[in-house]
Amino acid sequence: MLALLLALGAALGFGASWVLGENPAGQGAASPVAASSPSLPVDPVPELLRDPTTPALAPAVPLVRQTVGAGGFRMSVPVPEGWIFSENSLNEWQWRPPDQPAFGYVLRVEQVLSNRRSIDWTLDRRIDELREDESNLDVLTETGDSLHFSFVTSNHLRHGFLRWLDLTGSDNAQVEIAVTGREADVPGMRDLIARVAAGVELGSREG
């Protein structure tokens, strides 16, 4: 009787496994395991070229005031003394040292008040744009109104600092300040953008 019950139990177990689509131990091939999803593509790290050997941007460079803009939104901006000024557009200005080679450092100031967007929105949107436009982007530091990031362009490692200002209490980003340079320039760039941002004023004031 015991032998009959054991045989019956084994038969029932086999039948249950067949109905559920499972293989009894030692019967047939194992079911295939689904492959894990492949990792997201990343930018390959290029071979980096050497930076220019000009001295690094030093903290505490002397600043002088320059007025930019027009109409009711003229601004007084502290900028490094002796740097060459250029006007990129009616609302964007740039300063760089004289006779500096490519891939040095540069200061840029832009009025963005026409966008009528909050600093939070502007910051988030700029990160999206950087991810679309720049290779090997790495956001190193992010605050409520600023970014420090690195990226690679033309096989050169670059560092960028961005800061947004609201000068009238509108809760919107009105001025964008940017400093871009080499890794060696990071301490000087961090100091420069903080001092420029602290000194921007509405109106015209030289000296």
Q: Is residue 189 part of a domain?
A: yes
**How far apart are alpha carbons 126 and 113 in whole angstroms?**
15
Residues in the chain: 207
CATH number of 187's domain: 3.40.1000.10
Residue 194 domain-assigned? yes
For 171, counting Cβ atoms within 10 Å of its Cβ (0-12 exposed, 13-18 middle, 19+ buried), the class is: exposed
- For residue 55, tell me if it sits in a domain: no
Which residues on neighbouring strands pair with residue 29, listed in sequence order? none
Q: In this model, does residue 139 exceed pLDDT 50?
A: yes
pLDDT of 157 strictly over 50: yes
Which residues does 191 contact at the CB level (< 8 Å), separation at least 6? Answer: 59, 60
- Structurally, the chain folds into a number of domains equal to 1
Under the banding of pLDDT at 50, 70 and 90, the label for residue 47 is very high
- Whether 37 is in a domain gets the answer no
pLDDT of residue 183: 97
What integer best gives the mean pLDDT of the chain? 83
Closest alpha carbon to 89 in 62, 114, 120, 64: 114
Residue 159 forms part of a structural domain:
yes
The percent of residues in the chain predicted with pLDDT above 70, rounded, is 77
pLDDT for position 17? 32
**pTM of the predicted structure, to 2 decimals:** 0.77
Domain contains 112: yes
Closest CA relative to residue 181, chosen from 124, 107, 115, 128:
107
Phi/psi at 127 (5° precision): -60, -45
Q: Quick: pLDDT tens for 75-104.
A: 999 999 999 999 999 999 999 999 999 999
Does the residue 33 lie in any domain?
A: no
Q: Could you tell me if residue 20 is inside a domain?
A: no
Residue 114: per-residue pLDDT:
78
Q: Which domain holds residue 178?
A: 63-202
